[in-house]
Structure 1
Amino acid sequence: MRETRIEKRLIKEIEKIGGKALKFVSPGVTGVPDRIVLLPHGKMIFVELKAPGKKESPMQRYRAKEYRNLGFDVRCIDSVELIIKLIEEVRGYAICTS
């Protein structure tokens, strides 16, 4: 499965529970996560998406650590199983709209 398919599935699953998975681009700042997931009640998660088995680059790991140190939730997802796990974890923050 390619990264783009995982990304599309993440967007679909997040929208099902009333959230948004916005593309995150920050000109001049390398290594930022691919998506900012916004959930009901002010919950926010940065998500780096990868093709199955692929790992974050050193700069992506640096950014993830930097954002975690600021108190943010940062995830790296490389499978549908991890998407489902994320949805199960955050369901308490979300309002089901489907």
Structure 2
Amino acid sequence: MVTEKQIEQAVVREVKKMGGLAVKFVSPSLNGVPDRIILLPKCKIAFAEIKAPGKKMRPLQLKRKQTFENLGFHVYCIDNLEMIGGILHEIQST
């Protein structure tokens, strides 16, 4: 079984391969923010909440996701390795 840590490491690795950064996002003044800020070349930015397979976002995380999306940012919940390539392609294409 793949762990949340392995998924997060894979996200960081794949973003780096694309010439970007997947920065750990910690906000002491705002709980429930996504785990990573994904920065890709040509000013592409999105947020990712990383979860263990089958795990869902908590209510506060869903609230933050909605807030960020209302500001125009994309927020993805990644809970398996197979999702990573498609999500990164989507971020790069928008």
Local SS of the residue matching 1:8: helix
* Residue 89 of structure 1, CA deviation: 2.4
* Residue 88 of structure 1, CA deviation: 2.9
Q: Which has the higher helix share?
A: 1
Tell me which amino acid in the other structure corresponds to 1:76. Answer: C
1:17 and 1:91 in contact (8 A); partners too: no
Correspondence for 1:45: 46
Local SS of the residue matching 1:79: coil
What percentage of aligned pairs have identical amino acids?
48
Superposition map of 1:12-91 within 5 A: 12-91=13-92
Aligned residue-pair number? 93
Structure with the greater relative contact order (CA < 8 A, sep ≥ 6): 1 or 2? 1
Correspondence for 1:96: none
- Looking at structure 2, the residues matched to 89 and 66 of structure 1 have their Cα atoms a distance apart, in angstroms, of 20
The Cα RMSD (Å) is 1.2
Structure 1, gaps ≥5 residues long: 94-98
- Looking at structure 2, the residues matched to 91 and 71 of structure 1 have their Cα atoms a distance apart, in angstroms, of 15
* Residue 28 of structure 1, CA deviation: 2.3
Tell me which amino acid in the other structure corresponds to 2:79. Answer: D
| 32 and 40 in structure 1: CA distance in 2 versus 1, 3 angstrom threshold | same
Task: Confirm whether residue 10 of structure 1 aligns to residue 16 of structure 2.
Answer: no
When normalised by structure 2's length, the TM-score is: 0.93
Structure 2, gaps ≥5 residues long: none
> Once superposed, which parts of structure 1, at least 4 consecutive aligned residues long, lie more than 3 Å away?
90-93
When normalised by structure 1's length, the TM-score is: 0.89
- Looking at structure 2, the residues matched to 90 and 69 of structure 1 have their Cα atoms a distance apart, in angstroms, of 17
